[in-house]
Structure 1
Amino acid sequence: MANFAKQRWFFCVLGLASTALPARADLLTNWNVVTTGDLYAASDAQGPVRVGGNLYVQNSFEVAAKQGSPTSSNPSLVVGGDVKTKRNNAETVKVLQGDAVIGGTINGASNDKARIVSTRDGGAVKMDSSVSGIGAADAKELQADSLAFHAMEATKQAIYIPTAQVDTAVFTVLSVNADGNAVFNIDDAKLFNDSNIRGFALDLNGFKFGEGQSVVFNVGGSQIDFHSGLNFDGAFRTSVSNIIWNFYDAKQIDLNRNNFAGALLASEAVLTDANVMAGSVFVGSFGTTYGNGMGAEVQAPMYLGYDPSNPPAKIASASTPEPSSLAMAGLAVMAGVATRARRRRAS
């Protein structure tokens, strides 16, 4: 118990287009990567990709190796602007399942004769100028989704953050709202640049989340800088499709070569990264040059959690067994520590 004085525990009880394109209000659950601006790709995406601006490819780029919605009629690659590649080799951009729809040009050509973009499995490359406006429309939808997540009232949860020793920050689910979502509010963006934190773990505490249900992390801060060497463990590895990080104020996110787990929503941010991301990505732009864009693979599974733009008509509550005796025993301790921490801050 003496170690509690060296830690911070927080106990939160805040209350419960064209024919080739899909309909609106489905961006979060139909795409592995969505950028409303440009995408600089130096690696691949396992699911479908939707680019509002230009697609810049350094060497080669594959999409839809593990299509997230194999029965969907959506294309697997949509580019509202131009496709620009450093290489002019055939099949520089490969769509392994489904169609490709390009709103601008492919290395200056208005058709696919150069074969810079190629498809497999019976797909086709389509030049369609009507998709050139998707970036602005998608930005509005993602911004609305981000605001909706941010407006969710935080549910009762426990958050452990080390302060005096290097350790893993642990998020423990203690309750869900009426839609079956667990909501964490994290106001301090410095959490990701805290040298005492070596990684993050998520403990679902017996709760089970199905399609249309999420663990939501609302994170404030306009500049998000990750320090190196962070790991994501626990349910961050096993429940990726039901986790979403909502960086609602972010303008710049630098993952600094860290792996990342869960969907990342930052509707107005420029994301820079050079390591694997497990889950879906929804950002303003992915990189500003080849050197800081999609430097490693964005992997499936895609996000299948709660979608504010297209919520299910009725969601059964997440499976909620009684919290473990260990968790229940710790509640009084956590509440007491949080109270003492508040008193210290007030003094």
Structure 2
Amino acid sequence: MKKFISILSGLFLLASVTANASEFILNEYNVITIEDFEGLGGTHVDGKTFVGGNYTGLKSDFGQRLDQNSRSDITALTVAGSINAQVGVYVHDTVLSSEKNIVTAAINSNQVLINSTLIDSKIDNVKLTTGLDAIKADYKAQLENSSAYFSSLAANSKIETNGNNKTFAIDKGLNTDNDIAVFTLDGSTNIFDLNNLSLSMTGDNANDLAYIVINVPGNDVSMLNNSNMNFDKNKFGSKIIWNFYEAEVITLNAQNFVGALLAPYATVTQTGGNIDGAVGVLSLITNAEIHLATNVDVTVPAPSAGRPVTQVPEPSSIVLMLLAMTGLIYQRKKLNV
């Protein structure tokens, strides 16, 4: 019986652990790259950026739209690898980087050299630290788990087609702040390969929803430069999560991309319009402005082993199972007396 009580205690502990969940990390960060970030010049990021690898490229601007009233508490740019840019980098708040980098004393009150890169920021705002690889591993796991969770959601809204015009029509029956509108693109046809593609979204109930997921299959995804994403970004932009859950290569040459871009296994190249939403990818090559737009009410369930999502019984289900086991053992003991 003591052994059974021990098992019982362990299973209750398991129930409490599997109930753990996390907030969607792209609500906090405007950009997360697990590996490298290459800015091709003219790159602007409104919010916070975490680079798990190296930052390279031409002049970029980080933290443009961070809260003016809490600048002392904000790290606008974190780089776990090295920082090397051909032209300087402007950072509106603190720069946090690994000890792999060399910081030279301030050139003046507002400029610092990190390696050979001129950083427009005060010397007091540039900090070297250890432990960023552990943070990188945590963020990698969070992005991958979020993507797996979103891809497991069943579609409940339809994509209407009229030639190369695709309309994402949110189901009218979704009308509470717990509801999630889910679209899944047909894996047999990559709509992004269509010439003159025009995407739009309808749904007067969008503001009532927790968020909107668009699941996109495929290893190699390209959006051509004559395509348009005509979503009303003021109405839908902050709610949309594009989940490229299989992609390894994504090329975006079209007009503005509207919504968060989640692709934890992909190298994303964006040389067309801007991105109106957060970005969480393996690596990023861009000259775009990345705007702070994502604000979704989502709690991602605790990760399960491996890449696919495995459904775990709710704690209440586990309790019922344990009660049934207890009753069975009790009945067997009575029969053996």
TM-score w.r.t. length of structure 1 = 0.69
Unaligned runs of 5+ in 1: 1-23, 287-292, 311-347
- Relative to structure 2, which stretch is displaced further, 27-36 or 254-263? 254-263
Match of 1:297 among 267, 272, 289: 289
Q: What is the CA-CA distance between 1:28 and the residue it aligns to?
A: 1.6
Please give the per-residue CA displacement for 1:193-238, whole angstroms capped at 9, x wherever unaligned: 122x53110112334246xx21110111111011222222243453
- Structure 1 counterpart of 2:279, which letter? V
- The equivalent of 1:100 in structure 2 is 95
Tell me if 1:215 matches 2:207. Answer: no
In structure 2, what is the Cα distance between the partners aligned to 1:187 and 1:217? Answer: 11
- The equivalent of 1:52 in structure 2 is 52
In structure 1, what is the Cα distance between the partners aligned to 2:69 and 2:198? Answer: 34
- The equivalent of 2:204 in structure 1 is 205
Please give the per-residue CA displacement for 1:14-40, whole angstroms capped at 9, x wherever unaligned: xxxxxxxxxx85522101111000000
- Structure 1 counterpart of 2:238, which letter? S
Cα pair 1:198 1:230 within 8 Å, conserved: yes
In structure 2, what is the Cα distance between the partners aligned to 1:181 and 1:295? Answer: 32
Report which of the two has the higher share of strand: 2
- The equivalent of 1:134 in structure 2 is 135
Cα pair 2:23 2:298 within 8 Å, conserved: no
- Structure 2 counterpart of 1:94, which letter? Y
User: Using a 3 Å threshold, how does the CA distance of structure 1 residues 179 and 281 change in structure 2: closer, same or farther?
Assistant: same
Q: What is the CA-CA distance between 1:140 and the residue it aligns to?
A: 1.2
Tell me if 1:154 matches 2:130. Answer: no
Q: How many residues align?
A: 265
User: Using a 3 Å threshold, how does the CA distance of structure 1 residues 253 and 237 change in structure 2: closer, same or farther?
Assistant: farther
Match of 1:277 among 268, 272, 275: 275
- Structure 1 counterpart of 2:86, which letter? K
Q: What is the CA-CA distance between 1:56 and the residue it aligns to?
A: 0.7
- Structure 2 counterpart of 1:306, which letter? V
User: Using a 3 Å threshold, how does the CA distance of structure 1 residues 40 and 140 change in structure 2: closer, same or farther?
Assistant: same
- The equivalent of 1:340 in structure 2 is none
- The equivalent of 2:226 in structure 1 is 229
User: Using a 3 Å threshold, how does the CA distance of structure 1 residues 304 and 95 change in structure 2: closer, same or farther?
Assistant: farther
> In the TM superposition, what are the counterparts of 1:239-278 in structure 2 within 5 Å?
239-274=236-271, 275-278=273-276
In structure 1, what is the Cα distance between the partners aligned to 2:69 and 2:194? Answer: 40
In structure 2, what is the Cα distance between the partners aligned to 1:209 and 1:30? Answer: 22
User: Using a 3 Å threshold, how does the CA distance of structure 1 residues 128 and 258 change in structure 2: closer, same or farther?
Assistant: same
In structure 2, what is the Cα distance between the partners aligned to 1:38 and 1:244? Answer: 22
- Structure 1 counterpart of 2:85, which letter? T
- Structure 2 counterpart of 1:67, which letter? L
- The equivalent of 2:179 in structure 1 is 180
Cα pair 2:225 2:255 within 8 Å, conserved: yes
Q: What is the CA-CA distance between 1:295 and the residue it aligns to?
A: 1.3
Q: Percent identity?
A: 23
Cα pair 1:139 1:267 within 8 Å, conserved: yes
- The equivalent of 1:85 in structure 2 is 85
- Relative to structure 2, which stretch is displaced further, 257-266 or 173-182? 173-182
User: Using a 3 Å threshold, how does the CA distance of structure 1 residues 193 and 187 change in structure 2: closer, same or farther?
Assistant: same
Q: What is the CA-CA distance between 1:282 and the residue it aligns to?
A: 0.5
User: Using a 3 Å threshold, how does the CA distance of structure 1 residues 222 and 159 change in structure 2: closer, same or farther?
Assistant: same
Cα pair 1:243 1:305 within 8 Å, conserved: no
Secondary structure, counterpart of 2:154 in structure 1: coil
Secondary structure, counterpart of 2:46 in structure 1: coil
- Structure 1 counterpart of 2:127, which letter? K
Unaligned runs of 5+ in 2: 1-21, 107-111, 303-337
Cα pair 2:227 2:254 within 8 Å, conserved: no
Cα pair 2:184 2:215 within 8 Å, conserved: yes
In structure 1, what is the Cα distance between the partners aligned to 2:224 and 2:103? Answer: 43
- Structure 1 counterpart of 2:293, which letter? P
Cα pair 2:262 2:279 within 8 Å, conserved: yes
Q: What is the CA-CA distance between 1:246 and the residue it aligns to?
A: 0.3
Cα pair 2:231 2:258 within 8 Å, conserved: no
Cα pair 1:48 1:68 within 8 Å, conserved: no
Please give the per-residue CA displacement for 1:156-192, whole angstroms capped at 9, x wherever unaligned: x2311233xxx42101111438822111111336111
In structure 2, what is the Cα distance between the partners aligned to 1:184 and 1:123? Answer: 47
In structure 2, what is the Cα distance between the partners aligned to 1:69 and 1:306? Answer: 26
Q: What is the CA-CA distance between 1:111 and the residue it aligns to?
A: 5.3
User: Using a 3 Å threshold, how does the CA distance of structure 1 residues 193 and 67 change in structure 2: closer, same or farther?
Assistant: same
In structure 2, what is the Cα distance between the partners aligned to 1:268 and 1:69? Answer: 34
User: Using a 3 Å threshold, how does the CA distance of structure 1 residues 226 and 208 change in structure 2: closer, same or farther?
Assistant: same
